Structure 1
Amino acid sequence: MKTPVLAQKSIIEVFLKPISLLVLLLSLFFANAAHAQQTILTGTVTDGTTKETLPYVSYVIVGTTLGGKTDADGKFNISLKGEGNVLKFSYVGYKAQTKTIKPGTNQVINVQLMPDAMLMNEVVISGGKKPKYRNKENPAVELIRKVIANKAKNKMENYNFVEYQKYELMKFSLSNLSDKFKSKKIFRNYQFLFQEQDSTKIGGKNFLPVFQEEKLSDVYFKKNPEKTKTVLIADKRVNFDESFVDNKGLTAYFDRMYQDINIYDNNISVVSNQLLSPISDSAPTFYKFFITDTIKNHNPQLIELAFTPRNKADLLFEGKLYVTLDGNYAIQNAYLTVNKDINLNFVRALEVKLDFEKNPDQRYHLSKSNLIVDFGLSKKSGGGFTGERTVAFKDFKINVPRPDTVYKAAGQPVVLADASKKSEEFWTNNRPEPLSTAGVKVYGNIDSLQTIPSFKRTMDIVTLFFAGYKDFGPFEMGPVNTFYSFNGVEGFRLRLGGRTTPALSKRYYFETYAAYGFKDEKWKYFLSGTYSLNNKSIYSFPQNYIRASFQRDTKIPGQELQFVQEDNFLLSFKRGENNMMLYNDFYRLDYVHEFENHFSYTLGLRKWKQSPAGSLYFNNLNSDGLISRTDQINTTEISVGLRYAPNEKFYQSKIYRTPFVGPNPVFNFRYTGGFKGVLGGEYNYHNFMGSIDKRVYLSQLGYTDVTLEGAYIIGKVPFPLLAIHRANQTYAYQLNSYNLMNFLEFVSDHYASVNLDHNFNGFFFNKIPLLKKLKLREVMSFKVLYGGLRDENNPDKNPEAMQFVRNADGQSITNSLNKEPYMEGSVGVGNIFKVLRVDAVKRFNYLDNPDVSSWGIRARVKFDF
């Protein structure tokens, strides 16, 4: 059982991602045309003697600052708009070469650079077959093994104490915008937003900033016991209208996409994926290394070490490392990028630059990092969006002991009360580098943008389309995906509802809906009133509210009522018979309290009346052995829920809270007690349930999502109050349900389950010619459920227990799991068209139960990078 704010999402969850709520939507909504009057230059640079391609050759348009470097295959691509007519190529150990450009044309310029004998001690010309790359007796591999062997002493964690001040700048922009795009009528009043940069930089020439944030923090690290405390001194960011965008969630989303880069970690998180570090323990297995230069005029001397992935589609970097020759074998500088064929969605370009400075003990610490990622629907020209994160460190101190009080409350950032109120003078004095004129204007430009009526109308449409609500100020109507649905009991169902917003009150919130089924001719409705105890929106973190509600509606047995989202239109399509439902009356009183450390608890009081609907019935055997029918079950419950999700980040949309899955486990515990004779309750019982969710990263083999769950129910109860295991009769693949189990097929009063879902990130498909170009990803899952019924709750052993449901042929539809565990597994292909996963699901046992399938095909829409 999950708490409502963390409810399992439907197959349209892709539309609830924060990036779709802001930037991605704008990018797609205003599809960008290609640049006009451009000069596009492409080509390959090779060694004029050996004919081998040359990686990372510098090129520049003579007389300008425009230029770049070739990729690992020696290829380059540059777009110009009349700037210069000579292209110059230069590379260490080779003679520079120039090429003439014909403006306004598309040209292929292949360049052969000749070795410069004046710069080389020896030139060896060899013919014949190119030698195969080997790790054995390769000086570049020997060097990288020394770097790996010295990683431990070069890590920051090697010091007993470390402290520093950290400055972060995050920028996000619509990029590569054409002049035609800028001149669209809708942007007539927005010209002040557009900015320009060098066309060779990632993101192209024209861009439109939509988000910017600066942070200044003091960081304290202690090795034993290991603790890290961050004190946020100042925070300045673009703030959007909260009715459209969750500003804190947007920051958390960008922080996840652009995490800190630690070259000494085995895996580096970039755009929600983990890429193997070029100095990881297993790097020589997956990378090729080449010594490309020795820099003797640097103290200490540096070796320039180029690296490239053995398989260009794998989640690996390529680039250059600069290694010190002073015995530390530390990284002095690093340049990381990715191959154009990498199995990353929508990433057109990625660039990481790392600079290190020397400590008093002659070792090095990271002094500055810069990460730029350019996204787009296509690798080719056209509009997209670019994110850039710069982190600078200063006042770096090592082994300076601090009192234990300094590390108190470590793990969660401590935010100073005036962090968001710092003056511009403060920022001017504390930025390591001044912002550009354009960067300074971003904050004011976005504020101005939100006052323009046409922008407000656009965001209104965005919110309606993606979040499902139409805002009317103090009241918003929705969600629209529940306005129409259908099922076997109600038939065609219409629903209309909405809720109040903080524009009416920040303390009081009301929500309601009314629905009507045209087959059962019954009205359903919901009404709730919520009081915020911390004077904040009840949808923002940390929540602290009390809610009273009444709900009369239908429910599929065993399908947790996701507060008011059960009647999603896309979930109406189901396989098999779906006419066993419940009519429910819920009277509820709930208290929710979240803490900044992501521990939360809930207290609840619920009076619940459930009546069978459709072909569902409640039958008992009387003392004469005759069947008597029960019209309803009445219970009165109290509940206590505990949840702990250390370091959890999430985005709060209009409907769901969407957590960003990370390496930390999430713990849930819930106790529900039923009390006979209290407010009409008919049963005494105690239900204890716990679960642990964790993602396990396996480097190049992808990751596994693991869920462990168990429950124990004490008491004699009818089957609707037992654990009705989560079945799925839709055609969508659901991660937390049993996809070939029928509704109400299995019940237990004690159970334990393991759910494994593994994504290989294309590890095998990337090795198959032609197939790897599709960038598909292998997925597989396995689910096992152990459970059972004590005799007192099993009607086959105890005639006094409520009878299980049977079909027209007298076969039991509902069963216990006493014989053996239920098992199912799947293998599938993900990333089809970048958004679709298709699984072939196999059910391994209980195949003699009525109306079951041993296998099936299920699909799931999921947006991934």
Structure 2
Amino acid sequence: MNGSKNISLGLLLLLTLGFSSVFAQTTTVKGLVTDKSGSPLPFVSVFVPGTSFGISTDAAGRYELQFDSPKDSVRFSLMGYKAVTIRIQKGQEQVRNMILDNGAKQLTEFVVKRKKERYRNKDNPAVELIRLVIDNKSKNRMEHYDYANYNQYEKLEFALSNLSEKIQNSRFTRKYKFVFENQDTTKMAGRSLLPMYLEEKLADVYFRKDPEKKKTIITADKKVSFENYIDNRGLSAYLNHIYQDVDIYDNNMMLFTNQFLSPIANAGPTFYRYYIADTIVTADSSKLIVLEFYPRNKTDRLLEGKLYITLDGNYAIQKADMTANKEINLNFIRDFHLYMDFEKTPDGRYFMNKNTLMADFGLFKGSSGLYGERTVSIKNMVINKPMPDGFYAGTAVVQNEDQVQKPDSFWIANRHDSLTTAESKVYQNIDSLQNMKSFKRTLDIATFLLAGWKSAGPKFEIGPVNTFYNFNPVEGFRLRLGGRTTPKFNKSLYLEGYTAYGFKDEKWKYYFGGSYAFNHKSIYDWPVRALKASYQHDTKIPGQELQFVQEDNFLLSFKRGNNDKWLYNDIYRLFYLHEFDNHSSFQLGFKHWGQTPAGTLSYYKGLTQSDSVKKITTAELSLELRWAPHEEFYQGKNFRIPIPNKYPIFTFRAIAGVKGLFNSGYNYQNLSLNIYKMVFLGQLGYSEVVAEGGMIFGKVPYPLLTIHRANQSYAYQLQSYNLMNFLEFVSDRYAGINIDHNFNGFIFNKIPLLKKLKWREVATIKVLYGGLSKENDPRQDPSKIQFSNYADGTPITYTLGREPYVEGSVGVSNIFKLLRLDLVKRFTYLDNPLISNWGIRGRVRFDF
């Protein structure tokens, strides 16, 4: 009896499901919506009339609508275009691409709005509306909630755009025909895109308001890899720096490393003009105000576009479509669009569930270029469901390299949006390219030309080429040849070395070093945990410290003024570097340094040079502590180039010289602190600020004092004193601050003819206080090594007194989009001999 009941229930269930499938079959309609020119239309309302089923097209004009309803029509609606209703097949999946025509009424209204009338904020309903949006910003932000967590998907793509037929059909590219066939013509009107880089990431994100903490657990990561030629992590960091997270509720939005004032910033009504364009009703019967906004000054770092604002009391942004005026002072960016979409939460507020930033990069209008697109999508938002307190501890971003590599089946099931046909082929195409010998040769040549390294087999490289030849007053004509191993030699072990010969001093110089990574990763990969050892016998200029440049770079051969005071150094180094996931690190080191005067430099005691000192020998133990929260950098094979952001970098060093250790002649302690901070000032640009100070304890000869960083080259150096001579100032205690400010064209953009050049103003001030205790002043003690003099007895080296060393500069950057020229003025210590009161310095820098 029980069995017959179960059978009956089973038959009833099957019948119920069968009838349900007949009367409530799922209908799926998807496709692309464009205008007559073929440009995709974002934010088009796609809905089933008479129901609550509806969605909007994404930034690329795509949509996919699923519903269970007997209705057989779908309507497409967008302000400024004629609404279209089409018939569909019920219960089937179908593709319907739509082309919308401009609406005559909307165009007429647009012309009326643009009549030349005096714009004012007072009694302007558009401004009153935007002030309501500003007043309600706090409750429409994520920070309104005590806790929130969600699943986030990111996609970053770069593609070559509009490659000429000549390039595609040349004899050098015929072998890569399969790559050129994978082009996309739907994303950007009038442009054919060839994807070359794709990066995808899935993560679970957890937010806590008090104390504020955001923790991201990366669950899957996939990217195109250019193994052996480009550092993939560094490339990813740089591209993501260009395409940063954007929040319209911030007063300033970071786009392409530049700050743009948000249209709903507190100061928005001062810089923007607002117009109410329309009132529309969405598929769920909600009313939105369409607000257009434009910059008052077209050349300022401002946006223009449309905001879709709710009228439910929240005055929240539901959609946004933004770009910049064509006259704006930006480099290499021919066009860009930022689209944002917001979703309503159960408590009636809105959170950004999708944003897409699309940009067209290029040197010249209409030519081939580069297309970049970043999409961030959020799903499964959970509000005010806290995790245990211990969960939020630790690093902000958690990623296990071994566990985030997922198969294609995982990505197909978990991507928030499916890839286009062209995107889906890019991984396989790049892998195929890298297996072709001709492509490897091409990348090898490109690496040699751009980075200066030439492969000598899979395990060794020769270079860098810009150090093969240079000249200086001590060595005369100098030749150098060097090389290094690659990860193919040993992933954990890195070796490098060079040898050089000076034809004037007829001496050989050489260097050999090695590094071993204890975490059994490449020595290049952050976070580094490695032991490094080296020996160097070479020349050096006292007081010269370079950033990211080899000391024997050919371009540094050209210097101003007297430049014949050098050293022959014999340096043994051994240190251990340990970096942590939170971007803090410590470094323990030992350095044995023997310095011998070279050129016209001499070390002597007493009033004459008869009691000369041939060599100074020291042995040092050191500790360096560094903290760079949220640091970003591009990692090369043996260097890092930091990518500045709003967070500071702290570096503390402690050095102890030990007398008697390996013939060391001195006991001393040297403490120093350096703080770097980039300060963003919105429309006024940004400043790079460096504050530093230090103190030496113990009795030491002047070559072991702090020899302040001087610069006698013609290149402008941010952290050196550009009108100070080498060896000019020494101290055993000092404090200084450097401020380098870039106005981003804030002034030049308002001068009618000058603004077309897109130059940018820069200004710098550098102030250095220092002093020397009596126990370390050789002028007070003839038994000490005396300050250096010129051949006629004129002093070279001085100490800083009550008056600080001050220099400043004003200049113009972005000349030819690359060059910066500064007029530098020295304000103090003008009586020192053979100094320059004025100078012109140049610097090459790539900026957007």
Which TM-score bucket, shorter chain as reference? 0.7 to 0.9
Match of residue 248, structure 1, among 233, 256, 272: 233
1:685, distance to aligned residue in structure 2 (A): 0.6
Distance in 2 separating the partners of 1:677 and 1:732? 41
| 1:347–1:376 contact (8 Å) kept in structure 2 | yes
The answer on 1:351 being equivalent to 2:337 is yes
Structure 1 partner of 2:682: 699
**Structure 1 pair 297–668 and aligned structure 2 pair: CA distance change class (3 A):** closer
1:234, distance to aligned residue in structure 2 (A): 0.6
Distance in 2 separating the partners of 1:451 and 1:149? 58
Match of residue 153, structure 2, among 158, 167, 171: 167
1:418, distance to aligned residue in structure 2 (A): 4.4
Structure 2 partner of 1:382: 367
Match of residue 268, structure 1, among 250, 253, 258: 253
| 1:198–1:204 contact (8 Å) kept in structure 2 | no
Structure 2 partner of 1:467: 451
The answer on 1:147 being equivalent to 2:122 is no
Distance in 2 separating the partners of 1:602 and 1:313? 47
**Structure 1 pair 225–577 and aligned structure 2 pair: CA distance change class (3 A):** same
The answer on 1:840 being equivalent to 2:823 is yes
Cα deviation 1:136-183 (Å, max 9, x = unaligned): 221111111111111111111111001000011111111122333322
The answer on 1:675 being equivalent to 2:650 is no
Match of residue 586, structure 1, among 566, 571, 575: 571
Distance in 1 separating the partners of 2:642 and 2:547? 16
Distance in 1 separating the partners of 2:471 and 2:730? 26
Equivalent position amino acid for 2:618 in 1: T
1:655, distance to aligned residue in structure 2 (A): 4.0
Cα deviation 1:677-699 (Å, max 9, x = unaligned): 11100011100011100001000
Q: How does 1:129-140 map to 2 (within 5 A)?
A: 130-140=116-126
**Structure 1 pair 190–461 and aligned structure 2 pair: CA distance change class (3 A):** same
Distance in 2 separating the partners of 1:198 and 1:131? 43
Equivalent position amino acid for 1:664 in 2: Y
1:529, distance to aligned residue in structure 2 (A): 2.6
Which is further off, 530-539 or 831-840?
Answer: 530-539
Instruction: Give unpaired runs (5+ residues) of structure 1.
Output: 1-57, 70-89, 97-110
Cα deviation 1:32-75 (Å, max 9, x = unaligned): xxxxxxxxxxxxxxxxxxxxxxxxxx9933xx845679xxxxxx
Structure 2 partner of 1:257: 242
| 2:218–2:404 contact (8 Å) kept in structure 1 | no
The answer on 1:420 being equivalent to 2:404 is yes
Distance in 1 separating the partners of 2:572 and 2:82? 82
Distance in 1 separating the partners of 2:593 and 2:639? 25
Structure 1 partner of 2:432: 448
Distance in 2 separating the partners of 1:297 and 1:245? 47
Q: How does 1:357-372 map to 2 (within 5 A)?
A: 357-372=343-358
SS of residue matched to 2:35? strand
1:709, distance to aligned residue in structure 2 (A): 0.4
**Structure 1 pair 673–563 and aligned structure 2 pair: CA distance change class (3 A):** farther
RMSD of Structure 2 on Structure 1 (CA): 2.4
- With structure 2 as the length reference, what TM-score do the two structures score? 0.87
SS of residue matched to 2:709? coil
SS of residue matched to 1:425? helix
Q: How does 1:847-858 map to 2 (within 5 A)?
A: 847-858=830-841
Cα deviation 1:651-699 (Å, max 9, x = unaligned): 1123420111001100101111111111100011100011100001000
| 1:755–1:782 contact (8 Å) kept in structure 2 | yes
| 2:151–2:381 contact (8 Å) kept in structure 1 | yes
**Structure 1 pair 788–825 and aligned structure 2 pair: CA distance change class (3 A):** same
Cα deviation 1:592-641 (Å, max 9, x = unaligned): 1111211111111111111111111111118xx88511111111111111
Which is further off, 283-292 or 503-512?
Answer: 503-512
Q: How does 1:479-494 map to 2 (within 5 A)?
A: 479-494=464-479
| Identity of matched residues, % | 57
Structure 1 partner of 2:35: 60
Cα deviation 1:332-363 (Å, max 9, x = unaligned): 00001111111110001101111111011100
The answer on 1:637 being equivalent to 2:620 is yes
Distance in 1 separating the partners of 2:417 and 2:545? 53
| 1:467–1:653 contact (8 Å) kept in structure 2 | no
Q: How does 1:762-801 map to 2 (within 5 A)?
A: 762-801=745-784
1:764, distance to aligned residue in structure 2 (A): 0.7
Match of residue 759, structure 1, among 742, 745, 758: 742
- With structure 1 as the length reference, what TM-score do the two structures score? 0.85
Distance in 2 separating the partners of 1:361 and 1:750? 60
Equivalent position amino acid for 1:557 in 2: P
Cα deviation 1:67-125 (Å, max 9, x = unaligned): 679xxxxxxxxxxxxxxxxxxxx9957999xxxxxxxxxxxxxx9996589x98xx998
Match of residue 457, structure 1, among 415, 423, 441: 441
Structure 1 partner of 2:599: 614
Match of residue 392, structure 1, among 377, 388, 408: 377
1:540, distance to aligned residue in structure 2 (A): 1.9
Structure 2 partner of 1:185: 171
Q: How does 1:525-536 map to 2 (within 5 A)?
A: 525-536=510-521
| 2:183–2:195 contact (8 Å) kept in structure 1 | no
Structure 2 partner of 1:430: 414
Match of residue 514, structure 1, among 499, 502, 505: 499
Instruction: Give unpaired runs (5+ residues) of structure 2.
Output: 1-32, 43-76, 84-100
**Structure 1 pair 658–126 and aligned structure 2 pair: CA distance change class (3 A):** closer
SS of residue matched to 1:186? coil
**Structure 1 pair 135–196 and aligned structure 2 pair: CA distance change class (3 A):** farther
SS of residue matched to 1:819? coil
1:799, distance to aligned residue in structure 2 (A): 2.8
The answer on 1:328 being equivalent to 2:314 is yes
| 1:95–1:115 contact (8 Å) kept in structure 2 | no
**Structure 1 pair 138–578 and aligned structure 2 pair: CA distance change class (3 A):** same
Q: How does 1:723-742 map to 2 (within 5 A)?
A: 723-742=706-725
Structure 2 partner of 1:557: 542
Cα deviation 1:484-537 (Å, max 9, x = unaligned): 011111111100011111111123322111111111111111112322212222
Equivalent position amino acid for 1:673 in 2: A
SS of residue matched to 1:679? helix
**Structure 1 pair 633–124 and aligned structure 2 pair: CA distance change class (3 A):** closer
Equivalent position amino acid for 1:492 in 2: F
The answer on 1:207 being equivalent to 2:193 is yes
| 1:194–1:209 contact (8 Å) kept in structure 2 | no
Equivalent position amino acid for 1:60 in 2: D
SS of residue matched to 1:192? helix
The answer on 1:604 being equivalent to 2:589 is yes
SS of residue matched to 2:236? helix
Q: Larger RCO: Structure 1 or Structure 2 (Cα < 8 Å, ≥ 6 residues apart)?
A: 1
Distance in 2 separating the partners of 1:451 and 1:124? 57
Distance in 1 separating the partners of 2:573 and 2:210? 48
Structure 2 partner of 1:721: 704
Equivalent position amino acid for 1:537 in 2: S
Q: How does 1:276-355 map to 2 (within 5 A)?
A: 276-297=261-282, 299-355=285-341
Equivalent position amino acid for 1:831 in 2: N
Q: How does 1:23-172 map to 2 (within 5 A)?
A: 60-61=35-36, 65-66=38-39, 115=105, 130-172=116-158
Q: How does 1:572-583 map to 2 (within 5 A)?
A: 572-583=557-568
Equivalent position amino acid for 2:745 in 1: G
1:410, distance to aligned residue in structure 2 (A): 4.3
| 2:395–2:582 contact (8 Å) kept in structure 1 | no
Equivalent position amino acid for 2:445 in 1: I
